[in-house]
């Protein structure tokens, strides 16, 4: 089943997110918005944890998580320790939820409309993994520019 492949990939990428957040030498650098960009590394981290906790945890796992997507981009100066805690919580929620999904669950249409079209749950999980990777790349690039590191 695809979840046995997705679980280690989500874990690996959430570990990479943790690594990126830890590589900012100073917390205030997480929140710097670069000219020509819309988001800081910190806000992208909030967005990723909110996205996964909502679409996987709340929708598929009935975790009770309530998402505030606007706040993911509006809130600033969340302490690094809180971001790291959120990543660990997200990793646990994603793992626990995916472990509970059956082959039948993955073949069903995802419970919410996505891009105004029907998409099965397995396909949507692959999309979520791709979305996670896309934003981790943005965070990596943001960090290297803000810190002058490679």
Number of domains in the chain: 1
* pLDDT of res. 1: 72
The residue length of the chain stands at 150
CATH of the domain at 21: 1.20.120.450
Q: Which residues pair with 120 in a beta bridge?
A: 109
Kindly report the CA angle at 35 between 30 and 41, in degrees rounded to 5?
20
- Read off the pLDDT of each residue in 100-123 and give the average, rounded to a whole number: 92
pLDDT tens, residue by residue, 44-69: 999 999 999 999 999 999 999 999 99
The whole-angstrom separation of Cα 150 and Cα 147 is 9
**Structural domain range at position 77:** 3-147
Asked if the model's pLDDT at residue 113 lies above 90, the reply is no
- Read off the pLDDT of each residue in 92-110 and give the average, rounded to a whole number: 96
pLDDT tens, residue by residue, 9-38: 999 999 999 999 999 999 999 999 999 999
User: Predicted confidence band at 117 (pLDDT cuts at 50, 70, 90)?
Assistant: confident
pTM of the prediction? 0.96
The whole-angstrom separation of Cα 29 and Cα 142 is 9
Instruction: Find the farthest-apart pair of alpha carbons in the chain and give their distance in angstroms, rounded.
Output: 48
Q: Which residues contact 63 (CB under 8 A, 6 or more apart)?
A: 53, 57, 93, 97
Asked if the model's pLDDT at residue 142 lies above 90, the reply is yes
């Amino acid at each position: 089943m695809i979840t046995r492949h997705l679980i280690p990939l989500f874990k690996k990428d959430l570990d990479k997110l943790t690594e990126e957040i830890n590589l900012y030498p100073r917390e205030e650098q997480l929140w710097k918005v670069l000219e020509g960009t819309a988001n800081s590394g910190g806000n992208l981290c909030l967005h990723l944890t909110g996205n996964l906790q909502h679409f996987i945890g709340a929708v598929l796992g009935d975790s009770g998580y309530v998402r505030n997507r606007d706040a993911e981009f509006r809130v600033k100066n969340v302490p690094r320790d809180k971001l790291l805690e959120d990543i660990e919580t997200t990793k646990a929620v994603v793992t626990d939820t995916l472990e509970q999904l059956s082959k039948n669950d993955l073949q069903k249409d995802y419970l919410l409309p996505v891009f105004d079209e029907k998409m099965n749950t397995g396909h949507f999980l692959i999309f979520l993994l791709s979305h996670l990777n896309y934003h981790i790349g943005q965070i990596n690039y943001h960090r290297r520019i803000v810190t002058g590191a490679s």
